[in-house]
Structure 1
Amino acid sequence: MTIVIGYLPAPEGEAALDVGFAEAKLRGLDVVVINSPRRGADGVTALSAEDIAALEARGTESGVGVTVLQPGHEDDLVGVFNDTVAEYGSTMIVIGLRKRTAVGKFILGSQAQRILLEADVPVLTVKA
């Protein structure tokens, strides 16, 4: 059994890692970190081999095993999360949230909102 952590290299992603690792240690579980690369206002968010090694080391320091996945998702990030939950027997998803205006949510949609509403397991959200 595992906890799935949604991660992008941003303050919200770092907060999700901190809380996700703490929850996993508390429950005696490993984590699966999902970094779904996409192009956005800040460029490509894919992790390098060095970034992945650093995440794995950070998990080890926290006392949990870490698997890092970088699946593509097009528009179905929720499907990626639910598939990962099923494959790894996950009991929880942890994601970081950032503040967005109502107009921003309407125009761009909200992957976090879709994960909250459509995930197959409980979702823990954290702020940076």
Structure 2
Amino acid sequence: MTLLVAYVPRPEGQAALDAAIEIAVNNNEELIVVNAGPGGRDDASIVNGYEVERVEERLAALPIKAQFKQFVRGKGTIEEIEELVDTMNVRVLVIGLRKRSPVGKLLMGSMAQEILLTVSCPVLAVKAN
């Protein structure tokens, strides 16, 4: 079985990664960390340069099979995550949450909410400190 982490280069992404590493190591499960988005200059969800190396080095030091994947193919983040969940043997998807005001949720929507409602596997939502 596989744990899949939806990773973004923000505190909520780090919280999701930390929780998934702990679970995967404790259960000797494969861990896949995915960073996905449409790309472009305004896509703040995409990991670049040093951050990619930092995550890959952390995964390489683990006593389990773990890998980092990045998809910047013009598809939306949710679409990429849904595809991975549907094509892999994902036991749990781990996502990070951040606090948002009700107005912020109304105007910007909630990616976490959409993930919770659309993916076909259990979702562990982790709050950032």
Equivalent residue, structure 1, for 2:124: 124
DSSP 3-state at the match of 1:56: helix
Q: Distance in 1 between matches of 2:65 and 2:28?
A: 10
DSSP 3-state at the match of 1:70: strand
Q: 1:75 to 1:87 in 2, by over 3 A?
A: closer
After TM superposition, the structure 1 stretch with the greater mean CA deviation from structure 2, 55-64 or 13-22, is 55-64
* Structure 1 residue 75, shift from structure 2 partner: 7.0
Is the 1:22–1:62 contact (alpha carbons within 8 Å) kept by the matching residues of 2? no
Deviations 1:19-48 (A, max 9, x none): 01111112211211111245698x634223
The one-letter code matched in structure 2 to 1:90 is V
Is the 2:35–2:71 contact (alpha carbons within 8 Å) kept by the matching residues of 1? yes
Q: Distance in 1 between matches of 2:83 and 2:51?
A: 24
CA RMSD, aligned part only? 2.3
Give the fraction of aligned pairs with identical amino acids, expressed as a percent: 32
TM-score (norm 2): 0.83
Equivalent residue, structure 1, for 2:34: 34
Which consecutive unaligned segments of at least 5 residues does structure 1 have?
Answer: none
Paired residues, what number?
127
TM-score (norm 1): 0.84
Is the 2:9–2:51 contact (alpha carbons within 8 Å) kept by the matching residues of 1? no
